[in-house]
Chain A
Amino acid sequence: MKRLPKKRKQSIQVGMAIIFFVAICISVLYAFVILKHDPYLTNLSGRLQSMSLLHPLGTDHLGRDVLTRLLLGGQQTIGYSLLALVAAVIIGVPFGIISGYKRGIIDRLFMRVADGFLAFPDTIVAIVLVGLLGPSISNLILAIILVKWVNYARLVRSTVLTEAQKEYILIARMNGLPARKIMTKHLFPHIIGHVFVMASLDLGKIILLISAFSYIGLGAQPPMPEWGAMLNDSRPYFESKPELMIYPGLAIVLVVLLTNMLGDYLRDRFDVKKEVQS
């Protein structure tokens, strides 16, 4: 009895994901293969057009095709978020493993740094960094990487600390396996599931952060079609063309919703609730 609702919930999630995926494929095909609009090409005589076959979602205040920009924006938003995430994981995981397994001075030094980062909330660090380096998408990504890698390193470190006490690691050590081998062959496969779950839960947050920063002008700069920046660009025209407000926002909501569902699903699958709940 207890398992039924959960299964139903999962099949709804999978169904939604498939529908969404198909919708994306159709719109990508339509926009890039059939219509072939240039997302940066401005056309002042055709600005603020309504829906048509040529422009399925109309055009914006500079006459650019909204659907093409929306799709390219999605590609960039998700791409940049993944880039930040992957970089944070690549930096954080080795630090966490070494710090948790080798202990000693490296560990103490790392914990100092991590505590220092913890004293400052993520968003503040991001604001500070973007503030000092200047507003741009690459600086924002840099700030996100700098903030996030500590989280992964901490997660990995705490997992390694408990894992290293287990018998199979002790046996491996007794057999004279070098530390490098233990870390890569035995510890790494154990922690990667946790990291994966945490990363999938983080993805939505990072997408939201990037679009929010871009909206207030501290992230992607025009004419880049980032969703938050698109909302900011077209704000003066909302009264006459409310669609311009609807599309990018809806796109953000759908993508974040989907990544969050994926994260929840993975968390249930791997059953790592306790460690990953931040």
Chain B
Amino acid sequence: MLMITFASFLFVRLAPGDPVLTILNVDELSVSQEQVEQLREDMGFNKPLLVQYGHWLIAFFRLDFGSSYVTGQPVMDMILRGLPATLELTVGALVVMLVVAIPLGSLSALYRNSWVDQMSRIVSIIGAAVPSFWLGLILIDVFSVRLNWLPSMGRDGTATMILPALTLGLAISSVYVRLLRSSLLDSLNQEFIRAGRARGLSEGRIFFVHAFRHSLAPVITVFGVSLGSLIGGVVVIEVLFAYPGIGKMVVDAIRQRDYPLIQGYILIMAILVFVVNTCVDLSYRYLNPELKIKERETN
């Protein structure tokens, strides 16, 4: 663990580009050598590397990533300001995805090989090939440029959320429609479904309670695995819609070589991924009652 922190410290410190020059060069003004030395001393860059690492590590555990080279604000403040916007967008996209994937996936499984199933198959094959940013560009062109119904930039109330969330949600839903379909078909063939029918449960209850719950485990596994592409998707969508979340922030930071901000983003992402993966693991217990029974038996 300590090795990882040291490696990431070194990586950032030794990355190309002198941070001192980055700060002083913001306005492309010429700087004197004295100014450079002064700032270097202020930021502790003249001390030995290990001492620097010590300071950095202490700050790290206090969740203090220093200040942005460009704006001078503390990195943590900037991230905390952008994070709610990003989470809001992600949740919005997931809602869109559920609204699209659950009915389409269920219908395709219930009416297998019908026209609904064929349609959803074609749409998801094409959907897997459409880049999200292109979909977003088309939606912007249609709904905000030509029809002028929805705003296409920034973050100001619900209206600005609709297009980004719709774009991202549609982009990710194609995978889940097919996945839910095959998973539901698999569940409907299981013995506990037949047992349920034998017990005289209604078809509705069998489908929505028993089969559905059983089908969610693989879907959630894929969700955990594809979390990365979701995070990447959020970054692209935020840039596309000029949405002030942490994704757009990190892209701007990369362009401006604002290393403390990049570092803060990496750490926040690591925490987020860890939290979501833990949630995914925990949800298995709820979704698959067999696991609970097995655990009880082994104890």
Which of B125, B131, B229, B265 contacts A252, CB < 8 Å?
B131
B253 interface hit (Cβ, 8 Å)? yes
Chain A min CB distance to B205 (Å) = 31
> B266 touching A124 by the CB < 8 A rule?
yes
**Size class of the contact patch on chain A:** 35 or more
> B16 touching A256 by the CB < 8 A rule?
no
A257 interface hit (Cβ, 8 Å)? yes
On whether A212 and B262 interact (CB within 8 A), knowing A245-B141, A253-B126, the answer reads: no
On whether A127 and B254 interact (CB within 8 A), knowing A212-B131, A253-B134, A260-B129, the answer reads: yes
Which of B11, B126, B231 contacts A257, CB < 8 Å?
B126
CB contacts (< 8 Å) of A215 on chain B: these are 131, 133, 236, 239-240
> A228 touching B231 by the CB < 8 A rule?
no
CB contact list, A223-253 vs B, under 8 A: 228, 231, 235, 238-239, 242, 245, 249, 252-253
> B137 touching A231 by the CB < 8 A rule?
yes
A126 interface hit (Cβ, 8 Å)? yes
On whether A238 and B145 interact (CB within 8 A), knowing A124-B232, A217-B255, A257-B129, the answer reads: yes
On whether A135 and B133 interact (CB within 8 A), knowing A123-B228, A128-B262, the answer reads: no
A200 interface hit (Cβ, 8 Å)? no
Chain B, Cβ-Cβ closest to A256: B129
Count A-B pairs with CB separation below 8 Å: 124
Contact with B along A120-131 (1 / 0, CB 8 A): 111110111011
A238 to B228, CA, bound (A): 30
CB contacts (< 8 Å) of A278 on chain B: these are 225
> A131 touching B134 by the CB < 8 A rule?
no
> B250 touching A123 by the CB < 8 A rule?
no
On whether A238 and B254 interact (CB within 8 A), knowing A121-B229, A123-B232, A253-B130, the answer reads: no
A119 interface hit (Cβ, 8 Å)? yes
Chain B min CB distance to A234 (Å) = 10
Chain B min CB distance to A269 (Å) = 18
A204 interface hit (Cβ, 8 Å)? yes
> B137 touching A245 by the CB < 8 A rule?
yes
On whether A212 and B236 interact (CB within 8 A), knowing A132-B15, A228-B133, the answer reads: yes
Chain A min CB distance to B3 (Å) = 11
A70 interface hit (Cβ, 8 Å)? no
B291 interface hit (Cβ, 8 Å)? no
> A121 touching B231 by the CB < 8 A rule?
yes
Contact with A along B251-281 (1 / 0, CB 8 A): 1011101010010011001100110000000
CB contacts (< 8 Å) of B187 on chain A: these are none
B170 interface hit (Cβ, 8 Å)? no
B235 interface hit (Cβ, 8 Å)? yes
On whether A133 and B251 interact (CB within 8 A), knowing A122-B228, A249-B137, A257-B129, the answer reads: no
Which of B11, B235, B273, B274 contacts A216, CB < 8 Å?
B235
Chain A min CB distance to B297 (Å) = 28
B132 interface hit (Cβ, 8 Å)? yes
> B141 touching A127 by the CB < 8 A rule?
no
> A131 touching B228 by the CB < 8 A rule?
no
On whether A239 and B129 interact (CB within 8 A), knowing A121-B227, A278-B225, the answer reads: no
> B141 touching A242 by the CB < 8 A rule?
yes
Chain B, Cβ-Cβ closest to A214: B133
> B232 touching A217 by the CB < 8 A rule?
no
A222 interface hit (Cβ, 8 Å)? no
> B232 touching A126 by the CB < 8 A rule?
yes
Contact with B along A192-210 (1 / 0, CB 8 A): 0000000000001000110
Contact with A along B226-250 (1 / 0, CB 8 A): 0111011101100110000000001
On whether A123 and B129 interact (CB within 8 A), knowing A216-B239, A239-B145, A253-B134, the answer reads: no
> B133 touching A204 by the CB < 8 A rule?
no
CB contacts (< 8 Å) of A239 on chain B: these are 141, 145
B12 interface hit (Cβ, 8 Å)? yes
A68 interface hit (Cβ, 8 Å)? no
B26 interface hit (Cβ, 8 Å)? no
Chain A min CB distance to B185 (Å) = 15
CB contacts (< 8 Å) of A235 on chain B: these are 137
A217 to B247, CA, bound (A): 13
A260 to B174, CA, bound (A): 14
CB contact list, B203-233 vs A, under 8 A: 225, 227-229, 231-233
B91 interface hit (Cβ, 8 Å)? no
10 closest pairs, A vs B, by CB?
A: A121-B228, A123-B232, A249-B134, A256-B129, A257-B129, A131-B254, A216-B239, A131-B262, A123-B228, A132-B15
A sample of 23 cross-chain residue pairs with beta-carbon separation below 8 angstroms, ordered by A number, consists of A127-B250, A131-B250, A134-B17, A204-B128, A212-B132, A212-B133, A212-B232, A215-B131, A215-B133, A215-B236, A215-B239, A216-B236, A216-B239, A217-B251, A228-B131, A231-B133, A231-B134, A231-B137, A239-B145, A256-B129, A256-B131, A257-B129, A261-B125
Other 11 A-B pairs with CB < 8 A, given A211-B131, A216-B251, A231-B133: A119-B273, A119-B274, A120-B269, A122-B228, A123-B232, A132-B262, A204-B128, A212-B236, A217-B251, A218-B251, A249-B137
Q: Which residues of A contact B (CB under 8 A)?
A: 119-124, 126-128, 130-135, 204, 208-209, 211-212, 215-218, 228, 231, 235, 238-239, 242, 245, 249, 252-254, 256-257, 260-261, 278
